[in-house]
Amino acid sequence: MIDVERARRETPGCEHVIHLNNAGSALPPQTVLDAVVGHLELEALIGGYEAHEQNDQATERVYTAAAELLGCRADEIAFCSSATRAWDMAFYGFPLERGDRILTAVAEYASNFIAFIQVARQKGIEVVAVPNDERGQVSVEGLAELVDERVKLIAITHVPTNGGLVNPAAKIGAIAREAEIPYLLDACQSAGQMPLDVDALGCDMLSLTGRKYLRGPRGTGLLYVRSNLIERIEPPLLDMHAADWIEPDRYRLRADARRFEEWEQNYAAKVGLGVAIDYALELGIDEIWERVHELGERLRAQLGELDGVNVRDLGETRCGIVTFDATGAGAGEIKAALARERINVTVAPQSATLLDTRERDLPELVRASVHYYNTEAELDRLVDCVKIAARC
């Protein structure tokens, strides 16, 4: 069980706000803050390169910590500046040709879909959104029916940006494996709130961000690429960290996943992300998931009882992200009213998941995302304030 009191004591932000925007950017624990500030101070005192050398173990920890988190090898991990860049490095480098097909989800994230459209235009590939099942998650049967020799990539978002839905990632992985189709999982919103094991998920590539449920610094992301696939993916952007310049007209790519990285990195943030992952591992991902899941369901039930409030989360399994709209007030108005009470939530814009928005005719949604350090009393306070803001 999570020691909520302790987690709150170790999170300075808990004294200032009711933070229910954990899927935006969670409050970091003090240890993460100390690690980031400590590294920045060291850079200022002895020089940036020298600080990197001196703190080498701490900067390297992110790879081994991520390997523990995801059940993979450290050399299958690349450190990136965001989940989007991590995903891009795999996607844009993935070999695709005219006539190839990508299977994706209805609730796919805008940045991923924009990349699909661009590559579809440039290379003449086809992008197909697998229909949802009756629960509103990717239909596993629908996916299986769409698999044929044209499908060269399955790219799915685990937890979409606009709701609590958890797509059946492992069942999708089983189909991908059987059909031997590479599988790219956007785990940006699931990482840190639920267990993720790349073998159990059956994914070959996975992207995540540091600042959300992992409680790491902003401007951090990770990419996992299965070792047998690394050599097949030529990163769309290269530098002298990703490759060695070996002849005037030749370079040699690194053999490990760091070929997807940039030479220049935010080392303070990198150190902080390693500490954030360690903090989560120490608490226990299963324990984190149990509490986040429970709080998410509690909040959904409470909001569902309010007149004029529509909770919009779909799926068989739902996570710590709770989305709703209200007949009495718009999402922006509710967010502003809550902010006046020092309650942080965000608004899920319609364009962030355009296919899903259109399919379900969704308005802008209020997105309240709980973490294990939130208390039941904080959820009660949110519900009371929504009641007033939305004139329920």
Ligand X SMILES: Cc1ncc(COP(=O)(O)O)c(C=O)c1O
**C-beta of 163: minimal distance to ligand X in Å?**
10
User: Which of 235, 291, 286, 281 is CA-nearest to residue 261?
Assistant: 235
Q: From the list 65, 69, 83, 295, which residue makes contact with ligand X (rule: CB under 6 A)? A: 83
**C-beta of 245: minimal distance to ligand X in Å?**
30
Residue span binding ligand X (CB under 6 A) among the ranges 36-44, 78-86, 228-236, 253-261: 78-86
**C-beta of 282: minimal distance to ligand X in Å?**
23
Amino acid at residue number 157: T
Place of tokens 């299965």: 226
Q: Which helix (H) or strand (E) holds 321?
A: strand 321-326
CB nearer ligand X, residue 40 or residue 208: 208
**C-beta of 220: minimal distance to ligand X in Å?**
8
**C-beta of 82: minimal distance to ligand X in Å?**
3
Q: Strand 126-130 and strand 101-105: pairing?
A: parallel
What is the full DSSP assignment across 256-292?
SGGGGS-SS--HHHHHHHHHHHHHHHHH-HHHHHHHH
C-alpha distances out from residue 53 to 57, 137, 216, 248, Å: 9, 46, 22, 30
CB nearer ligand X, residue 275 or residue 348: 348
Alpha helices (runs of H) in the chain, residue ranges in sequence order:
4-9, 22-25, 30-46, 48-54, 56-70, 83-93, 110-123, 140-146, 169-179, 198-201, 227-230, 267-283, 285-304, 331-340, 354-360, 376-389
User: Which of 194, 319, 2, 303 is CA-nearest to residue 311?
Assistant: 303
Cα–Cα dist 84/306, whole Å: 36
Residue span binding ligand X (CB under 6 A) among the ranges 157-165, 198-206, 245-253, 381-389: 157-165
CB nearer ligand X, residue 21 or residue 189: 189
CB nearer ligand X, residue 216 or residue 302: 216
CB nearer ligand X, residue 161 or residue 302: 161
Instruction: Please give the span between the terminal C-alpha atoms of the chain, in angstroms, as a whole number.
Output: 35
If one asks whether residue 157 binds ligand X (CB under 6 A), the answer comes out as: yes
* Neighbour count for residue 349 (Cβ, 10 Å): 17
* Phi, psi angle pair for 375, to nearest 5°: -110, 165
If one asks whether residue 78 binds ligand X (CB under 6 A), the answer comes out as: no
**C-beta of 353: minimal distance to ligand X in Å?**
8
CB nearer ligand X, residue 55 or residue 157: 157
User: Which of 149, 209, 157, 150 is CA-nearest to residue 183?
Assistant: 157
C-alpha distances out from residue 34 to 317, 318, 322, Å: 35, 33, 31
If one asks whether residue 272 binds ligand X (CB under 6 A), the answer comes out as: no
**C-beta of 88: minimal distance to ligand X in Å?**
9
CB nearer ligand X, residue 55 or residue 207: 207
If one asks whether residue 84 binds ligand X (CB under 6 A), the answer comes out as: yes
Q: How many residues bind ligand X (CB under 6 A)?
A: 13
If one asks whether residue 189 binds ligand X (CB under 6 A), the answer comes out as: yes
**C-beta of 269: minimal distance to ligand X in Å?**
12
Residue span binding ligand X (CB under 6 A) among the ranges 39-47, 130-138, 183-191, 250-258: 183-191
Buried b / exposed e over 350-360, threshold 16 CB at 10 Å, is bebbbebbeeb
Amino acid at residue number 84: T
If one asks whether residue 59 binds ligand X (CB under 6 A), the answer comes out as: no
If one asks whether residue 261 binds ligand X (CB under 6 A), the answer comes out as: no
Q: Pick out residues in 208-247 that bind ligand X (CB under 6 A).
A: 209, 221
Q: From the list 28, 29, 136, 160, which residue makes contact with ligand X (rule: CB under 6 A)? A: 160
CB nearer ligand X, residue 206 or residue 285: 206
Residue span binding ligand X (CB under 6 A) among the ranges 32-40, 120-128, 153-161, 323-331: 153-161
CB nearer ligand X, residue 160 or residue 192: 160
- Helices and strands: H and E segment counts in the chain: 16, 15
DSSP 8-state class, residue 188: T
**C-beta of 168: minimal distance to ligand X in Å?**
16
- In the complex, the residues that contact ligand X under the rule CB under 6 A are 82-84, 109, 111, 157, 160-161, 186, 188-189, 209, 221
